Amino acid sequence: MKSKLSNLPAMNRLLSLDQVAEWQEKYPYYLIKRCLEESLDELRTRILAGEDLPVSEAEILKRTKEGLASIYEPSLKRTVNATGTVIHTNLGRSLLAHDAVDEVLKAARSYSNLEYDLDEGHRGSRYHHIRQIIVELTGAEDALLVNNNAAAVLLMLTALTKGKEVLISRGELVEIGGAFRIPDVIRSCGAYLAEVGATNKTHLKDYQAGISEQTGAILRVHTSNYRLIGFTEAVSDKELVDLAKSHDLPIFNDLGSGLLVDMQEYGLPYEPTVSEMIEAGYDLVSFSGDKLLGGAQAGIIAGKKEYIDRLKKHPLLRALRTDKMSIAALEASLRLYLDKDRALKEIPTLAMITASQEELLSKAKRLKEEIDQLDLGFKVSVTSGKSQVGGGAFPGVYLDTSLVCLQHDQYSGTELERQLRLSPDHIIARLNDGLLSFDVRTLQEGENALITACLKDIAAKG
């Protein structure tokens, strides 16, 4: 042990090596020195713990080089989504349309009129850029933008119901991603939760009985991430809006995933659209920009101007405001909705959800053929399966899809999944009962080549 410790090279010696001098062309000196110290310390600690490790300058340089590379390697990495979950929260939710990406690049690389009125030559509002298009698409009087839908709900309740009761059905006390719960959000706004009805049934009389002098608003939360089935009943939007108006109370709708296009003609069940909720008479409707809408992360609030004006004046808005790149992406995405057919074709989220069975089968056969051509011992088959929309949208609804299943005598499905996931392109596949498969619904143009290249590497290492 002592001899190994004494064989560890001195720091001055390591810093004088030619390879270290070459590193200084790419890395700062202080980082090189720190990584060398960490490599020496790690070796020293492990030797003292009794491990029999090689001690050489080459070994230390190897560890240091790996340490330097890890510092500079981006943590946020591109992945290949072969799971079939279209709005995959863990993989970044919606992909942006090409038009949206172009606008993001312009906003990132250039100055812009983010808060500058070009016509008048003085300061403007960042919210102006999305107001007109949202009003056009939803029929709302006005609109506002924050950084996500949770922030939208937080702003609405803080600005408009602080110190008052908010009526909500027990069946709508949802938990959203990250264990955030609607009751906690309401309480954090300084409002008081007033639950009405039962989990499975809420009647109009329950809301009527819950209204008091302390009531500040009625909140409807669309249960977009789960379904109540069986012995259930809910109050219609018209009845609830009429009740609120008869008591001169504001009424808000947290619509969640924010559908702008009716998807029933594409085989999906009914989901309320934003324009329907505006037409129903809700004073404010909030929804996400990066779920069914297929744009950038944002929380959109659409509705009556008198309430939007109050939100604009609240100091919390500045803490929740969104940035220029999100605004650029969202505005471009929303413009595509002016032509429904174009939106369905060019917004990736909508295009993947509405992909035909013929298109999916063709994609699966093409991927199978490309893997077969590798001739590397992979057993490939195409079978039918189910995709899901994801992102807390259309819960319990599964879309017919085509799967490309992969097996190899030398590798288990678990090992194939691990190697694909840890490959340079980070291919995220399905693994069900030990069988690995690719759902082609969420594969993008050019990603077949990434899959086949990764399979070549796996076979070469085997």
Tokens standing for residue 456: 């070549």
Q: In angstroms, rounded to a whole number, what is the distance separating the alpha carbons of residues 179 and 176?
A: 6
Write out pLDDT tens, residues 227-279.
666 677 888 999 999 999 999 999 999 998 889 999 998 889 999 999 999 99
In whole angstroms, give the CA distance from residue 98 to residue 368: 28
Say whether pLDDT at 224 is over 70. no
Angle (CA) 172-177-179 rounded to 5° is 80
- Which domains, from first to last, does the chain contain? 1-72 (no CATH), 80-88+355-460 (3.90.1150.110), 98-346 (3.40.640.10)
For residue 13, give every residue at least 6 positions away whose Cβ sits within 8 Å of its Cβ, in sequence order, or none.
57
168: β partners: 195
Which residues neighbour 217 within 8 Å (Cβ) at sequence distance 6 or greater?
157, 160, 161, 164, 166, 167, 244, 249, 250, 251, 252
Tokens 């906690």 -> residue: 184
One-letter amino acid for residue 40 of the chain: L
Closest CA to 288 of 327, 268, 259: 259
Tell whether the model's pLDDT for residue 96 goes beyond 70: yes
Tell me which residue has tokens 């992945």: 79
What pLDDT, on a 0 to 100 scale, did the predictor assign at position 1?
A: 61
Cα(first)–Cα(last) distance of the chain, in Å?
36
Using the predicted structure, report yes or no on whether residue 372 has a pLDDT greater than 70: yes
pLDDT over 80 (residue 294)? yes
Output the CA torsion 172→178→179→183 (10° steps): -50
What pLDDT score was predicted for residue 172? 83
Q: Can you give the pLDDT at residue 319?
A: 95
Average pLDDT score over residue span 345-357: 97
Write down the pTM of the prediction: 0.91
φ/ψ (deg, to 5) at 224: -75, -15
Q: What pLDDT, on a 0 to 100 scale, did the predictor assign at position 283? A: 98
Distances (CA, A) of 381 to 4, 129, 374, 375, 435: 54, 49, 14, 14, 11
Asked if residue 93 lies in contact with residue 393, where contact means CB atoms within 8 angstroms, the answer is: no
Residue 411: CB atoms within 10 A of its CB come to 19
**Residue 140 to residue 130: CA distance in whole angstroms:** 12
Say what the pLDDT of residue 187 is: 86
pLDDT tens digits, residue range 39-82?
999 988 888 888 887 778 898 999 999 999 999 999 999 999 99
Residues 6+ apart with CB under 8 A from 278: 138, 139, 140, 285, 302, 303
Tokens of 254: 């947290």
Tens-place pLDDT, residues 298-344? 999 999 999 999 999 999 999 999 999 999 999 999 999 999 999 99
pLDDT digit string (tens) for 164-207?
A: 999 999 888 877 665 677 888 888 889 999 999 887 889 999 99
The pLDDT tens digits for 380-432 are 999 999 999 998 788 888 999 999 999 999 999 999 999 999 999 999 999 99
Q: Whole-angstrom Cα distance, residue 251 to residue 171?
A: 17
Q: Tell me the residue type at 21.
A: A
